[in-house]
Amino acid sequence: MNTKYFTIIAFMLFVSGVFSTHAQNRLDFLLNTLKDGGKSDYVMIFAHRGDWRNAPENSLQAYKSCIDAGFDGIEIDVQMTKDSIIVMMHDQTIDRTTTGTGKVSDYTWAELKDLKLKSPIGVITRQRIPTFDEVLELAKGRILIQVDKWQPIKEKVIEVAKRHGCLEQIILRGTTDSKHIAKTYGKLLDGVNYIPVLVCKGEGDDEKLDDFMDNIKTSVISLSFTRDDFPVIDRAKEIKDRGFRIWYNSLWAEFNGGHDDEMAMDDPENSYGWLLKKRANIIFSDHPFLLDAYLKKIGRR
């Protein structure tokens, strides 16, 4: 082996090792932070459908933008094709976001893969519908992945995530009680980050919260509320003191009593600031760049 060839091989091995170490360090940070019970001031950002304001929703471009920005998680929507390939699509149909029409489940992957995605204002782009496999390879070791619409295809989601070695990066959320979870999923959720969501109603909220904290293996509790005066919201300090991070959804008013991303554009203190006063340390946002700038300004990232 000549010296030049040996040098090239050595350099390639070195670069590969650097990237691998960086990815592992990043994943360690994400998982340690997710499970630290909110002991640090760091607020995690999860981007709804990726950076969909600047790229087609649920596109690789939208996800890569979030990875490059250093966000902590992306939310993805999954549907399954006629030939059992998981693809990224919020709706059951492809009409709204692609150049095609009809149900995802009526198409094979070969029939879908050449369609083009549309931008948020309906402009046809060069982006294509990604598969779950492609998203996992893009995100591996780099960002957490909250999978939405997972219940109908739960076994397949877990199978694919395991195959790519990404199971610990996956986050699944649900609103059901501990007995239903145990009966429905059994050991299927082992190794996955499962987050229970308390949809506040005003009655029965305390009992549901106690069930989540006492009986579900999780590091995060999520609260969703149409009004900001539900008494259970004032238990946020207790939730944190019990060792859970608290996840709030800032997408639109029905999830946060009006303290949403739209309000944050003009009045961030009464939007993101209000959520932080209620002990938020994970925020699920439609405006992740706006949220990131605000959190950095106040020293929370």
Question: Per-residue pLDDT averaged across 160-174, rounded?
Answer: 98
Q: Using CA atoms, how far apart are residues 109 and 55, in angstroms rounded to an integer?
A: 22
Neighbouring C-alpha atoms within 13 Å toward the C-beta of 68: 7
Q: What's the pLDDT at 23?
A: 78
Domains of the chain, by residue range, sit at 3-82+142-297
When pLDDT is averaged across residues 260-271 and rounded to a whole number, the result is 98
List, for residues 34-77, the tens digit of each pLDDT value: 999 999 999 999 999 999 999 999 999 999 999 999 999 999 99
Q: Are 295 and 280 in contact (CB under 8 A)?
A: no
> What local confidence, expressed as pLDDT, does residue 1 receive?
53
**φ/ψ of residue 50, rounded to 5:** 75, -160
What is the CATH T-level fold of the domain 3-82+142-297, as seen in this structure?
Answer: TIM Barrel (3.20.20)
Q: What is the pLDDT of residues 110-152, one digit of tens each?
A: 999 999 999 999 999 999 999 999 999 999 999 999 999 999 9
Give the per-residue pLDDT at 169: 98
Q: Specify burial of residue 56 (Cβ count, 10 A radius: 0-12, 13-18, 19+).
A: buried
pLDDT of residue 24: 81
Phi (first) and psi of residue 283, to 5 degrees: -125, 130
For residues 38 and 178, give the distance between their C-alpha atoms in angstroms, rounded to a whole number: 23
Length reported for the chain: 301
Catalogue the active-site residues. Answer: 48, 90
Residue 15: pLDDT band (50, 70, 90) is very low
Joined tokens for residue 212: 């989540």
- pLDDT(203) > 60: yes
pLDDT digits (tens, 9 = 90+) for 239-261: 999 999 999 999 999 999 999 99
DSSP states along 199-214: E--SSSHHHHHHHHHH
Residue 7 clears pLDDT 80, i.e. is over it: no
For 154-164, write each residue's pLDDT tens digit.
999 999 999 99
User: CA 112, CA 102: separation in Å to the nearest integer?
Assistant: 11
E strand spans, 11-161: 44-47, 73-80, 86-88, 116-118, 124-128, 144-148
Q: Could you count the other beta carbons within 10 Å of the beta carbon of residue 87?
A: 24
In this structure, the number of other CB atoms found within 10 A of the CB of residue 197 comes to 18
Residue 182, both tokens? 């145990």
